[in-house]
A and B are shown apart, each in its own frame.
Chain A
Amino acid sequence: MPRKSSGVSRRRVLAGGALALALSGMNFVVSKNTSRLLGAPRGRRVVVVGGGYGGVTAAKYVKKENPDAEVILIEKNQLFVSCPLSNLYLVGLINYGQLCFPYNRLHTKYGVKVINDFVTDIDLPKRRVYLSSGYIEYDYLILSPGIEYDFYEYPFYEEASWFYPGAFRPGSEHLYLKRLLEEFEGENVVFTVPKMPYRCPPAPYERAALMLSYIRENGLKAHMYFIDANEYPPVLREGFMKAYNDFYRGMATYITGATIKEIDIASKTIKTDKGDVRFDFGSIIPPMRAPKFLEEIGLIYDDEKWVRVDPMTFETKVRNVFVIGDSCESYLPKSGYAANSQAKVVARIVADRIRGKEPEGELIQHGVCYAMVNLRSAIMVEVEYKYNVKTRKVKKILREDNTWKVSTAKRYHEWARGLWRDMFF
């Protein structure tokens, strides 16, 4: 049994693939691998599930805050691919390679054990995480598995998303969507936004703006039908609405508060409660939820879609089990930057608990998001929650800069570079 505990190693494609399907709700019956992968934990083992913005940051920062901790990061992909900035990739402002990072430095520089495998089950009472290759026991569990598309409640989105990717999960969807955009010669582009909450609230509105810019730059005679389940952009409303009016007037029809009833791929028609839309090409963003396995292990209940956590500590109803990032119900909007910030809060709590104490002072969650409104300019929003552990008081800051600027777009790039430095260097 190859123990992938000394860095990134090859995953077992076949076994892992089958188990991943099982976790995707495909009703495959796969028996648990009951081999114990590592020795018994000694009170300082932290298992982190999910190698996205939250998981990578949590793994690194637990080690930074407490080098005595034994930190294991479990991630199914061999390479990290960023969703933040991926809209810029779609229209050719950056290369795909700029979004990709390997996990190896977490091991070589910080001593995090990176295991490249699928999680097949989690037994909370026994404190075990099951992988295709066996199980690992933990003292502390940090779950950061991101989102999945909610095909359970909205099955008609599934086929549509194969043909016209929502590209809200990192990786191949973006590659394919870019190709579709570059090959597009038709007339009608459709773009759909699910009802909040979903991953990265400004991202669909940024993508719409960038796709419209792309259409104009490339002299395409296309019209966009922008079907939004929300009444308005949930963030940076003023900036986006002004940009749509100033830059793209006549190029798009913005259908707001619309509920999609059916998507017929054969006739390329989206049926909504506000009328039908025929399209030639599009990006159909399905509604989202936390991954279903969180429900199966008991962390999501009452037909909810996100994990309820203490909004200041991210601890679930199970002590020493934390959920961060897009999967949890939190004050910060779902985003990579928010997950990075939440991960630092949890890393501090876990590092302190391993030392036998609780954190003091302030726990700060901070979110900054940028969004392009055309190929050169951007707007931005900042939100912060400062929680005083002693007084239990929360101080909130919200600042929006809805005036688009070229300099804000430059800050956007530095914002992302900083995040990646923070995670991978």
Chain B
Amino acid sequence: MDRRGFIKTCTAVAAASLASPSLFINSLKAQELEFKAYKKAILLKKDGTSLKPEDVDPGKQYIFFYPHRATPCILANLGKEVPSTEVKLSDGTTYRWPGGVGPEKSIVAYCAICPHQMSHPTPEFSFINYYPENIPSKIVKRGGVIQCCAHLSVFDPAKGGEVIDGPAPQPLTAIVLRYEGGKLYAVGTLGKELYEDFFDVFKPDLRKLYRSTRKAKKLVDKCEVTEVEEYAQEVIRC
């Protein structure tokens, strides 16, 4: 982490500590390894009002774009308290994922770019999806997972996005959420980011969607949350 990033991180962590001392401790631990602060962005419903935890249906999956205008994230309510956990990378390093947020501590968010070969939701298809308990994965025969159907990587959203099955070499990048005054915010990422490669690989597609790479890369301070089924023409599950 460079000096600028470190200061940004400290600022974010200090602000977070006012809301939750436990988050402060967790964040400090995370900061040593992989936490990266971005603009604090409020999560909004389609009508522009703030998204409340009770708006996040445990039987559905949602998408928003953070920290850049073009980088998709999956939002899910796991329907149970999700405690903080240690996430291990293949090189043996670890970081502490702070767990779910909201009154039930059940809401989580992850970058929706598969760390295997970068499949991600587009307006046409969504190959990587959250499988709620009522829609179990046919691969691991259970719900409560995030799964990419291109090459069958499966991730555990209750454990910081760690890899359960398949070829992904690392966990999903976690989006760090905060719950303040009944509202949900995204404040940064945790884990290895793929944004540099994402913007490089998908440059032509992003130009079509956002007119320029610069616009696609713009950092956001508010995020509209939509059901994935509304965003993508076809949600492909397996």
The chain A residues found within 8 Å of chain B, CB to CB, are 109, 341, 344, 360-361, 364, 366, 368, 382, 384, 397, 399, 401, 407-408, 410-411, 414-415, 418-419, 421-422, 425
Bound together, the chains give a CA A421 to CA B201 distance in angstroms of 7
- A425–B236 touching, CB < 8 Å: no
- B119–A414 touching, CB < 8 Å: yes
Number of A-B contacts (CB under 8 A): 56
- A361–B117 touching, CB < 8 Å: no
Q: Which B residues between 147 and 182 are near A, CB-CB below 8 angstroms? A: 149-152, 165-167, 169
- A418–B152 touching, CB < 8 Å: no
**Residues of chain A contacted by B139 (CB below 8 angstroms):** 399
Q: Which residue of B lies closest to A411 (CB)?
A: B149
Bound together, the chains give a CA A425 to CA B167 distance in angstroms of 18
- B117–A422 touching, CB < 8 Å: yes
**Residues of chain B contacted by A344 (CB below 8 angstroms):** 169
Question: How many whole Å from A24's CB to the nearest CB in chain B?
Answer: 34
- A366–B167 touching, CB < 8 Å: yes
Task: Tell me if B118 is interfacial: C-beta within 8 Å of chain A.
Answer: yes
**Residues of chain B contacted by A401 (CB below 8 angstroms):** 138, 238
The chain B residues found within 8 Å of chain A, CB to CB, are 90, 92, 114, 116-119, 125, 127, 138-139, 149-152, 165-167, 169, 197, 200-201, 234, 236-238
Bound together, the chains give a CA A418 to CA B117 distance in angstroms of 5
Q: Which residue of A lies closest to B118 (CB)?
A: A421
**Residues of chain B contacted by A421 (CB below 8 angstroms):** 117-118, 201
Bound together, the chains give a CA A384 to CA B168 distance in angstroms of 12
- B152–A368 touching, CB < 8 Å: yes
In the A-B complex, list the 8 residue pairs whose CB atoms are closest, starting with the nearest. Answer: A418-B117, A366-B167, A425-B201, A414-B150, A422-B117, A407-B236, A415-B150, A418-B150
**Residues of chain A contacted by B234 (CB below 8 angstroms):** 407, 410
Known: A384-B167, A410-B234, A410-B236. 6 other contacts (CB 8 A): A344-B169, A407-B236, A411-B127, A411-B149, A411-B238, A421-B201
**Residues of chain B contacted by A364 (CB below 8 angstroms):** 167
**Residues of chain A contacted by B116 (CB below 8 angstroms):** 418, 422
Question: How many whole Å from A333's CB to the nearest CB in chain B?
Answer: 16
**Residues of chain A contacted by B152 (CB below 8 angstroms):** 368, 382
Q: Which residue of B lies closest to A425 (CB)?
A: B201
Bound together, the chains give a CA A419 to CA B238 distance in angstroms of 19
**Residues of chain A contacted by B138 (CB below 8 angstroms):** 401
Q: Which residue of A lies closest to B88 (CB)?
A: A361
Question: How many whole Å from A277's CB to the nearest CB in chain B?
Answer: 39
Q: Which one, B125, B151, B200, contacts A415 given CB within 8 A?
A: B151
